[in-house]
Chains A and B, each alone.
Chain A
Amino acid sequence: DAKTTQPPSMDCAEGRAANLPCNHSTISGNEYVYWYRQIHSQGPQYIIHGLKNNETNEMASLIITEDRKSSTLILPHATLRDTAVYYCIAHNTGNQFYFGTGTSLTVIP
């Protein structure tokens, strides 16, 4: 799986959009970009994934650049409950999801 790079921490005002960037410049053509989050010490929670098209679900939107070297997870209206560590993972087949250190997002009231 390709290495991903994320900022270690970010703040976002409650009610505003949170935009979390991820760099995956060595991603291969068949690797998907997945986003998970971990609230405190709970189990990682799946958010969204994509290959090359932008994706949206009830939790978030995923914007992948045309060259697929980076992506952005967008939480459109951040709430205090969105405070968590967010992980960007590039993954193809195989068993392991490699969790890095992620971005610690703090939503500020």
Chain B
Amino acid sequence: EPEVTQTPSHQVTQMGQEVILRCVPISNHLYFYWYRQILGQKVEFLVSFYNNEISEKSEIFDDQFSVERPDGSNFTLKIRSTKLEDSAMYFCASSERLLGAYEQYFGPGTRLTVT
């Protein structure tokens, strides 16, 4: 069964450093998403991406964040200058479509630890 994959599974970085989290969505999916979950808190939407553009973003997704689809398979989330409060699980998701009933399929997540 096709699945969303994410690398690395765990990333440790120092405050102020840049990190790039990588995702490979399901191959025939056209819509891509990033969510995050701070330990013990809810899963929160960050951004959605379609046709090489951001289609929606939350207030969490400020200028420190960016997303990119650098090739036909990868989807990345970059945090330019990490802060302690960026420590969280980051989940990538993808869906085949956006209208009507559709499922978002999530990857296993990347645990980001900022020290």
**Chain A residues within 8 Å of B, Cβ to Cβ:** 32, 34, 38, 41-46, 49, 51, 87, 93-101
Interface size on B, residues (CB 8 A): 28
Report the separation of the CA atoms of residues A38 and B98 in the bound assembly, to the nearest whole angstrom: 22
B residues in contact with A42, CB < 8 Å: 108-109
B residues in contact with A99, CB < 8 Å: 35, 42-44
On whether the beta carbons of A95 and B101 are closer than 8 Å, the reply is no
On whether the beta carbons of A46 and B109 are closer than 8 Å, the reply is no
Report the separation of the CA atoms of residues A98 and B104 in the bound assembly, to the nearest whole angstrom: 12
B residues in contact with A93, CB < 8 Å: 98-100
Report the separation of the CA atoms of residues A90 and B35 in the bound assembly, to the nearest whole angstrom: 18
Binding site of A, secondary structure by majority: helix, strand, loop or mixed? Answer: loop
B53 to chain A, nearest CB (A): 12
On whether the beta carbons of B105 and A97 are closer than 8 Å, the reply is no
On whether the beta carbons of B106 and A45 are closer than 8 Å, the reply is yes
B24 to chain A, nearest CB (A): 13
On whether the beta carbons of B101 and A44 are closer than 8 Å, the reply is no
User: In chain B, what residue has the closest Cβ to A44?
Assistant: B106
